[in-house]
């Protein structure tokens, strides 16, 4: 009976210690990094067929403007290496980043991929 009593006291002490530890543990919020800053800025790409340079601006709200025209649609994906935009026709525009800098843009409507250069 004494062993049962000692075991019960030890169990209660251990449980009490665990509660104290939990009570004093810091709560760390899971904060997602802000990948939007990777894609913001002024960029350019050249159409290899027409040799025309196109200018693209991505603002703080991730609105995309190409050659002065705001694209109608919305962002459906954002990570450190990819921004995916869905236009109002249902086509995706994918902007790929490399080393935290936009590197290529893929236009699903034309099936073309373009190299991006910095215009900041």
How many domains is the chain partitioned into structurally?
1
Do residues 101 and 118 make contact, with C-beta atoms less than 8 angstroms apart? Answer: yes
The verdict on residue 20 lying in a domain is no
Residue 82 domain-assigned (yes or no) = yes
For 25-77, write each residue's pLDDT tens digit. Answer: 555 566 667 899 999 999 999 998 999 999 999 999 999 999 999 999 999 99
pLDDT of residue 118: 86
User: Which residues span the domain enclosing 113?
Assistant: 36-118
Please say whether the beta carbons of 114 and 104 come within 8 A: yes
Q: Is residue 42 part of a domain?
A: yes
- Could you tell me if residue 2 is inside a domain? no
In a domain? residue 105: yes
Whether residue 83 lies inside any domain: the answer is yes
CATH of the domain at 76: 2.40.128
By residue count, the chain amounts to 120
**Strand blocks (E) in the chain:** 41-46, 53-58, 64-66, 69-70, 73-78, 82-87, 92-97, 102-107, 112-118
CB 105 within 8 A of CB 89: no
82-105 residue pLDDT tens: 999 999 999 999 999 999 999 999
């Amino acid at each position: 009976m004494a062993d049962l009593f000692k075991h019960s006291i030890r169990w209660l002490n251990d449980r009490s210690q665990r509660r104290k530890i939990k009570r004093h543990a810091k709560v760390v919020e899971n904060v997602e990094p802000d990948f939007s800053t990777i894609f913001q800025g002024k960029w350019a790409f050249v159409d290899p067929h027409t040799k025309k340079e196109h200018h693209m601006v991505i603002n703080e709200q991730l609105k995309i403007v190409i050659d002065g025209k705001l694209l109608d649609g919305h962002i459906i994906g954002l990570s450190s290496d990819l921004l995916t935009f869905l236009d109002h026709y249902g086509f995706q525009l994918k902007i790929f980043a490399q080393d935290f800098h936009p590197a290529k843009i893929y236009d699903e409507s034309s099936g073309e991929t373009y190299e991006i250069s910095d215009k900041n």
